[in-house]
Structures are given as C-alpha cells and as structure tokens.
C-alpha cells in the first residue's frame, strides 16, 4: 500500500534563518540565540469539501498493445510505418515479397483446370451408364404396372351366373307348379270344418296352459312366502318396516350402550363420530399441552434442544472468526506502528547547543573586542589630547615627556589588546559560522530522516487506524450476532410460554365438550331402549296375523293347480285329435283324387333340379379358371418385382459407388485447396492494422527474412510485455487501463463497476476517474506467503499525456461524503478518550489558541470529517518543530 505524502520543512526558510543569525552576529548583535528548539505552529482552515473513503493501493498504467506478425514466412519488401505513426483500422503496415507466391498460385490454378476437366469426363461417363440402367428399370416398372386382363374369365363367370340364375328360376317355377298342382288337387277338399276344430282346440289349450302357469306361479309364490316366513326371511312391506324399525332401534341402543361403555372404559372402538371427535379433540389438546409444556421446559433449560440456534451460531462463529482475524490484523498493525515509532531520528540538541555555545563565545569575544576598542579609543583620545596640549605649550618639561610616553604606552597596550580581542572575535565568528553550518547540514539530514520516519509512522498509523476500524466493525458485528441469538432465544421462550397458556385453555374447553357428549350419550341410550320395546311389540302382532293368512293362501293355491292341470290335459288331447283328423282326411282325399298335372309337375321339378346342378358346376369351373389365372398373374408380378428390385439396387449402387467421380472430385478439391492456400498466402503477406492506434515500435527492416506465425493478433496489457513479441507493435489509444494487486483480506470489498480515484505521480499527482473492469480469481502468492489478486480498471477518459507503465496511487471508492467539514488528521489529538483540536481565537493568530472538543466522523487516513465542535472558516493548529 502506498504511504501518504507529507510536506517537507522549507529548507530555504531554515537557511535564511541561519543567514539571519550569521548576519546578526557579524553586525554585533548582542542578543543570545535560543538554547533549544521551539515549537512551530501551522494553521489550517476548516473547509467544506468532499471526503473520499476507500481501499488504497499502488498500481501501474497499462496500455493495450497488440504485437503484429506476418502469418507466412518470407522476405520483407515494404514497411510503411515507423514508431509514432498513427494508423487506422485496415491500413497496410508492411508486406513481404510475393514473387514465389505468385508463381505457386499460377501452378495451382493450372492444376485446378486439369482436375476440373477430368472430373467432368468422369461425371459424363457415370451419367450415361446410369441413364441406361434407369431406362431398363422404367421398362420393368411399366410391365409391373400393366393390370391383369380378366375380361374373358369374368365373361365366362357372368354367363355361368346367368345360366345358374335361369336354372334357379326354372327350378322355382317347377316347385311352384307342383305346389299349384297339389293345391288344384285339394281345391275341392273341405278343410273348413277341420280347421275350425283345430283352431278352437288350440285356443282352448293355450288358455288352459296359461291358467296352469298362473296356478303354478300362485302356488310357488304362496309356498315361498310361507317358507320365507317360517325362516324369518319373508318379504312383507309392513313386517319389513317393523323389523327394520326394531333392528334400527336395537342397533341404536347397542351403539349408544357401546359408545357409552367404551367411552367410560377409555376405548375408541365403538365411539360415534361426535364422541370420537370430542375425545380425539381432547386427546389432541392434551398432547398439544404436553408438547407445549415440553417445549417450554426445553426453552427454559440451559441448552434448549428444540431451539434452532444453528443460523445464529453460524453467524456468531463467522463474526468471531472475523473478529479474531481483525484483532490479529490490528495487533499486527499496532505492533508495526509501535516498531515504526521506536526509532525516530536523533534530535539536533547537541548541534543546537554547539551553535548556542559558539554564539555565547562569540558574544563574549565581541564584548571583549568592543571593550578593548573602547579602551583603545579612550587611550587614543587621551594621547591626542595630551599631544595637543603639548603642541600648544600647555605641557612642558621632562614630566610632560614622561606622561606622553605613558599615554603612548597605554594606547599601544590598548591597540594590542584590541588586536588580540579582534583575533579572538574572528576566531569565535569562525567557530559560530562552522557550528551554524554544521547545524544547517544536520537539519537538512534531520528533515529528510524525519520525513521518511513520519511517512513510515503515518503509513503504519493509517494501517492501524484501518485495522482498528475493521476491528471495531467486527466487534460490533460479533456483539450484534450474540444479541440476535439472545433476542431470538428470549422470543422463543416467550412464544413457548404463550403456547402453553393457549394449549391449556384449548384442553380445558375440549374436556368440557367431552363431558357434555357423555351426558348426551346417556340420554340417547335411554331413548333407544324405549324404542326397542315398542318395536318388538308391534312386530310380534304383525307376524301372528301374517302366518294365518299365508297358510290359507297355500292351501287354496294347491287346489287351483290340480284343477288347472286337469284342464290342460283335456285340452291337449282335444287339439291333438283335431290335427290328426285333418291330416288323415287330406291324405285320403289326395290319394283318392291324384291327377296328371301333379305327376307332370313332379317330373318338371326333377329335370329343373338337374339343370340347376349342371349350371352351378359350370359356374364353379369358371371361377376356378379365374383363380388360377390370377395366381399366374401374381407369380409374374413377383418375378417383375424381383427384377425391379435388382435393377433399383444396381442403380443405387451405381449412384453410391462413384469411385471415379469421387477420385476426380478429390483431385479437384485438392487443387482448389492448393489454389486457396496460395491465395491465402498471398493475402497473408501483408500486416494490416486490426484497430485504430499508434505504432510503438518496428523490430524488422526491409530485406530481412521473417518466420510466419499462426497466432492471432491479441492485445497484451503493457508495452513492456509486448516489446519483443511482434514485427510491429500497435498501441490501442482508445482506452487506458491500470492494474494493481489487492490483498486477500480486502479483495471481497472490491467489485466490478466500482469507481476508482487514480492519482498519477508523473502528472503532479493529477487525479482522474476510472472503473473496475475485471477481478482475477487466480491468486498470486509471493515469497513471503502473502496472497493478492490482480484487479484491472479502465480510465473513464483517455488523456494523451498518460503513458504506459506510469505509477499511480489508487483509491477504490467505498464511500464519498459531499460537502462536509474537513480538517487534517494531524490537527486532532486525544485526551482521556475525548478528541480535541487547538483553534486560533483571532483568525490566523497562532499565538492565541484554545482547546476545543470535537466529534469526528469518517476519515481517509489524511483528512477527517468533523460533525460537531467546529465551523467552516475557523483555523486549527498543527504543531511541529522548527528553529526559534
């Protein structure tokens, strides 16, 4: 992950401060330098802006680059582009010498023409042979389709049928003539008397038979009724109803008694529906009550078995696992922060002390020099005054000369002391300059070390803050999971208690229903007992009366049957006698009065019968001839069918067995493939731009030999990856991508389509927008065992100044608050769990600060949202270290 960027101290300001001190020293400034470093205060204004929160990562710009190669081998004859050329899709970029390929194409075309001619000859020969066989097949099919000519056979049959019909008519006429002759012979026979006697006897017989049947039926019915009555199975409406009433009453009584007895004995075998329903309902309600009590008991136990805690336990376990991971992550991050804070760069106290000591020495030397200079000036003034007085004659004699020598000696001593002080001052100045230069050099080194140290600490703190937030979220999730289970268990117990109360009420109501059913059932038993007594009395009276009636009916039916049978016998005797009388009388009359017409008619009938038999035989013979002719026709059809099948098979074999044509066709196809191959080779001698773009590099020159490749022109992410993969490398300038690696702990927080803020180092940290396009499912594990996943994004807009492999700093936007109060993280400090900032009381005056409690919201590691305690436009202090 990329560390945050920090502003460095202004080294120019430090150098100016050093120069100021140096100048002040040289000017004879008497004030002492500060003994130690003091606190430098920087004010930052509270502003409203957008706060971006998300995962951060280092990444790299990757342009889609396509390596282009020739698909065939050969010598390069033309290269039409160079690095930096802008091309359009379809532009020819380079091509090979096509001399050999053109010759190969001409040879292949000649071979194709020869193969096509040979193929046409083979097709014509096969077509002629096939047409001949098809004509043979057509002739056989015409014979096969010729219908059977049965005219002569049908005519013979028709003639025979006509003769048979005529002979049948003759036979019928002869029979009719015989019957007529016989009828004529009996026309004078008087049948009226005989027919009247027969009809009368037949009518009487039928009546007597009907009477006999009626008597038999009546007797059988009476006997059956009496027998059924004796067996107790007599079907009488009144008796049956009385029996049904008795049986129903007895059954009702038995059922009611059984139900009552079984209910008292707690047996459900003979319960009626009402009682069974009431008892079942009561039993079910008792079972429900027991179940509810068991559920409540289980719910009140330490570990309720019926409570489905799996989902909650899974959530708790998952939350606990996440919490443990986040705790481990936080411990690691906090340990890293502690380690980072252990080794701050050494302070500049000794160098500051050296400057201060040198400044003190310089001040002392300067004071000594100034004092010596004052002494020299005084001595010079006295010497000059004395000389002036001497020159004016005010001082004379040896004494004057002695004082002159004294003043001259004092002056010379003062000059010597001044020179000595001047030398000491120069040395002190040099010492001070050296100490200040050393301090300045050490300050530069300190600033560099401190910036790196602070960057490391801030990065570790950012990681620790992120880990702490994740830990807090995991703790909240874990506590929520525990709370959810406790709430669900409490709800489960409450529901179980409610269920027990409800089940108890339902059981009490069901038991009351059972008591009412028992009372109703006893009433039914008493009523059924009275009904049985009444029905038994009515049935006994009806059965006694019916038995007397049935006995009398049987006796009367037996007498009627004897009389009816005697009448039938007498009538049958009379009918038989009447028929016999007529038959004997007709035979006697015909035998006595037979005529020639009857004899002739009998002879004619005999002859007609013989003629009819002959005609029938002739018809049978004609039908047999037709059948044989049809069989012969069917046999010939079968033979034709076999020949047609053989011919069809032969034609099919000729159609399918096209060896010569197939061979010729194969030669044509082979020749066409050779032509196509040559044409393809010619078409492949050019490298054509597959997309619009810019040429990045050309690796070959005209005249060089290249080896063809079958690989398709596929875009590769990153120019470095594609540098040595093609004759020409083409960059797609219509899209810019970026790639980064995201740790396994954060990858599930990145989704396709998520917005990205991209900070480009090479463009003065310009920020552009991008979108996640793909997330690799294949992990990358480095030598330290750290697992990451590659994430690819696409910039929303293309910029020409963005180059391949530029380093970028990415923020996967998880949340963005608009128009919120923001302050630097460094302005916030914590005391006893409360967050504070120092606020300038009077605008930008950093000398007059007040402590103020604030409430903070989201933070992105650099800036923090303030939700209360500050107003827009106020100034907050950031404390730092600088020279006084």
Residue 33: per-residue pLDDT? 32
Q: Which residue has the higher pLDDT, 772 or 28?
A: 772
pLDDT at 419 over 80: yes
Report whether pLDDT(29) > 70.
no
pLDDT value of residue 485? 82
Neighbours of 232 (CB within 10 A): 9
C-alpha 822/C-alpha 866 separation (Å) is: 6
Q: Are 730 and 687 in contact (CB under 8 A)?
A: no
Average pLDDT rounded to a whole number, residues 424-448: 87
Q: Is the pLDDT of residue 31 over 80?
A: no
Dihedrals phi, psi of 655, to nearest 5 degrees: -70, -40
Q: Is the pTM of the predicted complex or chain greater than 0.75?
A: no
Which carries the bigger pLDDT value, residue 702 or residue 658?
A: 702
CB 689 within 8 A of CB 88: yes
Q: What is the pLDDT of residues 262-293, one digit of tens each?
A: 666 655 554 566 777 777 788 888 888 888 88
Q: H-helix or E-strand containing 858?
A: strand 855-859
Q: What tokens does 624 get?
A: 């047999």
3-state secondary structure of 62: strand
Q: What is the pLDDT of residue 398?
A: 58
Q: Region 637-659: what's the mean pLDDT?
A: 82
How much of the chain exceeds pLDDT 70, in percent?
Answer: 86
* DSSP state for residue 46 in the 8-state scheme: -
Report the pLDDT averaged over residues 49-57. 83
Distance CA(657)–CA(130), nearest Å, equals 11
Reported confidence tier of residue 181, pLDDT bands at 50, 70, 90: confident
Mean pLDDT of the 26-55 span: 62
Alpha helices in 692-775 (DSSP H): 719-722
Does residue 400 register a pLDDT over 70? no
Q: What is the pLDDT of residues 247-263, one digit of tens each?
A: 777 777 777 667 667 66
* pLDDT tier, 10 (very low <50, low <70, confident <90, very high otherwise): very low
864 or 242: which carries more pLDDT confidence?
A: 864
Mean pLDDT of the chain: 81
pLDDT tens for 864-882 read 999 999 999 999 998 753 3
Q: Parallel, antiparallel, or unpaired: how do β-strands 863-868 and 807-824 relate?
A: antiparallel
User: H or E stretch including 148?
Assistant: none
Task: Look at residue 742 and tell me whether its pLDDT is greater than 60.
Answer: yes
What does each C-alpha distance from 74 to 69, 97, 98, 682, 709 come to in angstroms?
A: 12, 7, 8, 11, 12
pLDDT at residue number 298: 82
CB 181 within 8 A of CB 597: yes
Q: What is the Cα–Cα distance from 739 to 754, expressed in whole angstroms?
A: 14
Question: Of the candidates 102, 57, 106, 105, which has an alpha carbon nearest to the alpha carbon of residue 77?
Answer: 102
C-alpha to C-alpha distance for 236 and 221, rounded to whole angstroms: 13
pLDDT higher than 60, residue 531: yes
Q: Is pLDDT at 771 greater than 90 in this prediction?
A: yes
- What does the block give as tokens for 283? 């039993």
Instruction: Retrieve residue 6's tokens.
Output: 């920090």
Other CB atoms closer than 10 Å to residue 798's CB: what's the count? 12
pLDDT at 653 (0 to 100) = 78
Q: What is the reported pLDDT for 18?
A: 40
Find all residues with CB under 8 Å of 152, minimum gap 6, and list them: none
pLDDT greater at residue 96 or residue 666:
96
Nearby residues of 301 by Cβ (< 8 Å), 6 or more positions away:
none
More confident residue, 667 or 535: 667
What lies within 8 Å, CB to CB, of 366 at 6+ separation is: 25, 28, 30, 425, 428
Cα 359 from Cα 367, distance rounded (Å): 12
SS3 content of the chain, % helix, strand, coil (to 5): 65, 15, 20
d(CA 462, CA 336): 11
Integer Cα distance of 556 and 255 in angstroms: 45
What is the layout of strands, in order, in the sheet containing 64-68? 86-87, 693-698, 728-731, 64-68, 716-717
| Residue 869: predicted pLDDT | 94
Q: What number is the average pLDDT over the span 800-815?
A: 88
- Looking at residue 715, its pLDDT comes to 62
> How many Cα neighbours within 13 Å face the side chain of 14?
21
Q: Is the pLDDT of residue 811 over 60?
A: yes
Q: Quick check: 55 and 749 in contact, CB under 8 A? A: yes
**Higher-pLDDT residue of 224, 745:** 745
3-class state of residue 178 by DSSP = helix
Q: Check if the beta carbon of residue 754 is closer than 8 Å to that of residue 55.
A: no
Q: Give, in degrees to the nearest 5, the angle at Cα 93 between 90 and 96.
A: 115
Mean pLDDT, to the nearest integer, of 174-183?
Answer: 79
Mean pLDDT of 190-195: 75
The pLDDT of residue 15 is 36
For residue 23, pLDDT over 60 is answered with: no
Which residue matches tokens 């004796």? Answer: 230
DSSP, res 81 = -
- SS3 of 823-847: the string is EEHHHCEEECCEEEEEEECCCCCCC
pLDDT at 397 exceeding the cut of 70:
no
Q: For the segment 348-396, what is each residue's pLDDT rounded down to a tens digit? A: 888 889 888 999 998 999 999 899 888 888 888 878 877 777 666 655 5
């Amino acid at each position: 992950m990329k560390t945050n960027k920090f502003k460095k101290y202004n080294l120019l300001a430090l150098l100016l401060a050093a120069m100021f001190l140096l100048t002040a020293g040289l000017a004879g400034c008497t004030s002492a330098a500060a003994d130690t470093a003091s606190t430098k205060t920087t004010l930052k204004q509270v502003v409203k802006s957008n706060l971006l929160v998300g995962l951060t990562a280092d990444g790299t710009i990757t342009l889609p680059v396509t390596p282009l190669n020739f698909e065939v081998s050969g010598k390069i004859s033309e290269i039409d582009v160079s690095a930096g050329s802008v091309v359009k899709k379809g532009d020819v970029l380079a091509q090979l010498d096509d001399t050999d390929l053109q010759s190969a194409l001409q040879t292949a075309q000649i071979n194709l023409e020869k193969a096509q001619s040979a193929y046409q000859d083979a097709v014509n020969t096969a077509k002629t042979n096939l047409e001949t066989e098809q004509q043979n097949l057509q002739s056989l099919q015409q014979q096969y389709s010729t219908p059977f000519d049965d005219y002569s056979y049908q005519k013979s049959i028709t003639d025979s049928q006509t003769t048979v019909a005529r002979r049948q008519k003759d036979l019928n006429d002869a029979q009719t003539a015989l019957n007529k002759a016989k009828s004529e012979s009996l026309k004078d026979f008087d049948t009226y008397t005989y027919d009247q006697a027969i009809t009368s006897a037949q009518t009487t017989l039928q009546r007597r038979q009907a009477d006999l049947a009626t008597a038999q039926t009546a007797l059988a019915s009476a006997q059956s009724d009496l027998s059924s009555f004796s067996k107790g199975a007599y079907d009488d409406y009144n008796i049956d109803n009385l029996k049904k009433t008795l049986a129903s009453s007895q059954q009702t009584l038995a059922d009611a008694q059984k139900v009552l007895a079984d209910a008292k004995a707690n047996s459900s075998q003979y319960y009626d529906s009402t009682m069974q329903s009431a008892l079942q309902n009561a039993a079910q309600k008792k079972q429900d009550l027991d179940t509810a009590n068991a559920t409540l008991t289980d719910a009140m136990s330490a570990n309720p078995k019926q409570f489905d805690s799996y989902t909650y336990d899974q959530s708790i376990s998952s939350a606990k696992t996440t919490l443990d991971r986040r705790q481990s992550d936080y411990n690691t991050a906090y340990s890293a922060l502690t380690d980072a804070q252990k080794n701050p760069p050494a302070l500049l106290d000794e160098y500051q002390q050296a400057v201060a000591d040198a400044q003190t020495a310089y001040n002392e030397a300067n004071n000594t020099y100034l004092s010596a200079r004052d002494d020299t000036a005084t001595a010079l003034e006295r010497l000059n005054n004395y000389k002036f007085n001497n020159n004016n004659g005010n001082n004379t004699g040896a004494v004057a000369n002695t004082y002159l020598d004294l003043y001259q000696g004092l002056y010379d001593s003062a000059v010597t002391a001044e020179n000595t002080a001047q030398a000491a001052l120069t040395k002190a100045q040099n010492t001070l300059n050296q100490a200040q230069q050393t301090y300045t050099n050490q300050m530069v080194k300190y600033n560099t070390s401190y910036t790196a140290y602070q960057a490391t600490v801030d990065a570790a703190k950012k990681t620790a803050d992120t880990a702490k937030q994740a830990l807090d979220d995991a703790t909240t999730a874990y506590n929520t999971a525990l709370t959810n289970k406790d709430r669900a268990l409490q709800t489960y117990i409450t529901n179980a208690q409610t269920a027990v109360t409800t089940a108890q009420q339902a059981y009490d109501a069901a038991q009351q229903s059972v008591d009412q059913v028992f009372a109703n059932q006893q009433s039914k038993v008493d009523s059924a007992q009275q009904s049985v007594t009444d029905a038994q009395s009515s049935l006994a009276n009806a059965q006694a009366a019916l038995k007397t009636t049935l006995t009398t009916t049987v006796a009367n039916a037996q007498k009627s049957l004897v009389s009816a049978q005697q009448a039938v016998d007498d009538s049958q005797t009379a009918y038989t006698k009447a028929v016999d009388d007529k038959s004997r009388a007709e035979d006697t009359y015909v035998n006595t009065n037979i005529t020639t017409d009857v004899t002739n008619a009998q002879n004619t009938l005999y002859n007609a019968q013989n003629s009819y038999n002959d005609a029938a035989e002739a018809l049978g013979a004609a039908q047999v001839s037709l059948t044989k002719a049809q069989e012969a026709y069917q046999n010939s059809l079968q033979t034709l069918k076999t020949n047609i099948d053989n011919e069809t098979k032969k034609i099919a074999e000729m159609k399918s067995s096209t060896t010569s044509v197939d061979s010729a066709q194969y030669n044509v196809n082979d020749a066409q493939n050779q032509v196509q191959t040559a044409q393809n080779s010619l078409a492949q001698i050019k490298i054509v731009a597959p997309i619009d773009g810019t040429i990045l590099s050309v690796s070959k020159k005209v005249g060089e030999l290249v080896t063809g490749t079958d690989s398709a022109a596929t875009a590769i992410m990153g120019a470095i990856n594609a540098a040595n993969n093609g004759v020409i490398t083409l960059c797609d300038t219509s899209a810019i991508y970026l790639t980064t690696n995201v740790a396994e702990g954060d990858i599930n927080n990145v989704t396709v389509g998520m917005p990205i803020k991209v900070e480009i180092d090479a463009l003065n940290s310009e920020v552009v927008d991008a979108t996640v396009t793909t997330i690799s499912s294949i992990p990358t594990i480095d030598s330290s065992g750290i697992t990451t996943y590659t994430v690819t994004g696409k910039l929303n807009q293309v910029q020409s100044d963005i180059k391949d492999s530029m380093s970028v700093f990415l923020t996967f936007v998880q949340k963005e608050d608009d128009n919120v109060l923001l302050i630097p993280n460094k302005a916030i400090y914590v005391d006893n769990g409360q967050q504070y900032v120092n606020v300038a009381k009077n605008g930008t005056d950093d000398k007059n600060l007040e402590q103020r409690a604030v409430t903070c919201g989201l933070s992105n590691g650099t800036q923090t949202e303030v939700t209360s305690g500050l107003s827009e436009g106020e100034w907050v202090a950031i404390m730092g270290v600088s020279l006084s």
